[in-house]
Structure 1
């Protein structure tokens, strides 16, 4: 990888408020000490539950770790009970926001139109959207790439002339929560195809692709330059796993010199 590895962690709704703060404190200590963070080899971001965001921003301030949210609304203000705007997320100190996760699509019925509108809301508020894409069932890598590109294209098209620097999180839905990630060669082929497509989009300059879907230690080294990083879930609840992945980043950077 020729640019810093992007390592994202979504805490979903597994941790309580104090548990989140304790975990973030431990991750901040790791970031302080790890050469991959100090040397600019990795960009680490954490997406906690909404109520914990201000506390997490405070914990990570000056520690080389960015904070984001797991969702946002497509309008910046108004009578939208229970929703949170990108404007407020930015004001709170967020840098990233996740959109389009398979759980949001399945449980809350979020359509391509809604995902695109939320992505545009993130962009106009200076947040980096983490756009989740992934085929619902296993298919050929070629078919999977076509499915994912269709979803990303809807987002890029909605952005229009607005610069759309995205983190595209490839998470095949059949691998989310599974015991193992998708096969390495499968991931590589899909991600390289998506990355090649993104490179041809003039308003998507600087976009990155990361792999999620039961990602954990050992995978980044196997995927090599097919991805720009990983998007982690429950396996990152163990801070030791985060250390292991940052170690992989450092080893890969040394090997690339």
Structure 2
């Protein structure tokens, strides 16, 4: 399945996020994109998740969270339960982004628990992996596969989306070279092929035209700032539709 996903991080105030959802829902409806052979996913801030679900789920767009607690209930001040994310209509949980690792010191042990919590609550983990520096692509793939295995163990049969974001390319003016991305992602697809809903997305300065260049080595894109305009998000969705139809 081809997947186009977007995380808004904490860029937008609540009102702008809701307006984004309204505009995105209208564009998807007008262009009949919910009937095409791909999955769209939108990850807003926690506080806007209920509104995003209300506006986007009727148009076939999956919604989810940018993080979850590793526990469902208990004395975890400030955390957000994965059970509540699911109850609000979420079906995807972004886990292990480099910002969570660097800013909040999340390690593989905690990230592994969060993946298990996602599966426990019928959420698809969108697990972020990537190398810190430029390597040979085979070496980068081995690094990421080791990272995946340290988090998911030998569990299979569950849904798993991988967001491959070479950390040295996040926020860069240009993405990593296409040949580099294609080689790494082909290895990653092989590594997770035993999962029920196995998809490898590429992030890291992803924008229009990139999916065509690296297809079919990837299953989709994980978008960031480029897609802060709903029309930009739709342009990548339509690019994906042209590839899979």
**Could you tell me which residue of structure 1 aligns to residue 165 of structure 2?**
171
The equivalent of 2:57 in structure 1 is 61
Query: Which structure 2 residue ranges, 5 or more long, are not aligned?
Result: none
Partner residue in 2 for 1:23: 20
In structure 2, the residue corresponding to 1:104 is in which secondary structure?
Answer: helix
Q: Give distance in 2, aligned partners of 1:229 and 1:115.
A: 23
Cα deviation 1:103-138 (Å, max 9, x = unaligned): 000000000111111000000100000000000111
Structure 2 partner of 1:44: 40
Alpha carbons 1:41, 1:249 under 8 Å: kept: no
Which runs of no fewer than 5 residues in structure 1 stay unpaired? none
Q: 2:216 is matched with which residue? A: 225
Which of 10, 19, 34 is 1:13 aligned to? 10
> Alignment length, in residue pairs?
245
- Given that 1:135 and 1:173 are in contact with CA atoms closer than 8 Å, whether structure 2 keeps it comes out as yes
Partner of 2:196: 205
- Of residues 127, 131, 135, the one that matches 1:135 is 131
Query: 1:175-254 residue pairs with structure 2 within 5 A?
Result: 175-199=169-193, 201=194, 204-254=195-245
Native 8 Å contact 1:134 1:148 kept in 2:
yes
Tell me, in whole angstroms, the C-alpha distance in 1 between the residues paired with 2:52 and 2:229: 17
**Aligned-partner SS, 1:44:** strand
What residue in structure 2 maps to residue 77 of structure 1? Answer: 73
Decide whether the 8 Å contact of 2:67 with 2:93 is kept in 1.
yes
Structure 2 length-normalised TM: 0.96
Distance 1:162 1:149, change over 3 A: closer
**What CA distance in whole angstroms lies between the structure 2 residues aligned with 1:250 and 1:76?**
37
Cα separation, 2, equivalents of 1:39 and 1:55: 22
The offset of 1:61, in angstroms, is 3.0
TM-score (norm 1): 0.92
Runs of 4+ aligned structure 1 residues displaced above 6 Å come to none
